[in-house]
Amino acid sequence: MVCLFLTACIISRPQPQDCEVVNTTIVKITEGPTFDIVFHNVKGDYYYINRGLEQGLNLDELNSSVLNKNVTLHLAKIWGGSVVSEHIAQLAIDEKIIYTEFK
């Protein structure tokens, strides 16, 4: 039973059809645990790029390109698509993709 629970929460190679698209304005960017990059919006919600710092993303560059801008996030769904996570699978401003996990 525990294995089934953990499998339902694992986010592995999400694709666009496995995500919910959210448009929001980012007002703060912080470093999270385990090298995550955490994006905070005006409502106090947060979203993260898993191990973003290990993937070559830079907080200073993200602050200059993303901070106080409207972004489009693809957030991975879990539990068979019934729950939207805070995990960012893709981050874009207008048509420019800043980060993506899509292959």
**Cα angle, residue 45 at apex, residues 86 and 11 outer, rounded to 5°:** 5
**Identity of residue 44:** G
Segment 44-100, tens digit of pLDDT: 999 999 999 999 999 999 999 999 999 999 999 987 667 899 999 999 999 999 999
CB atoms within 10 A of CB 14: 20
Burial code (b: 16+ CB inside 10 Å, e: under 16) for 20-40 equals: eeeebebeebeebeeebbbbe
Residue 30 has pLDDT above 80, yes or no: yes
Q: Which domains does the chain have, with CATH numbers?
A: 2-100 (2.40.50.140)
Predicted model pTM: 0.85
Q: What is the pLDDT of residue 13?
A: 76
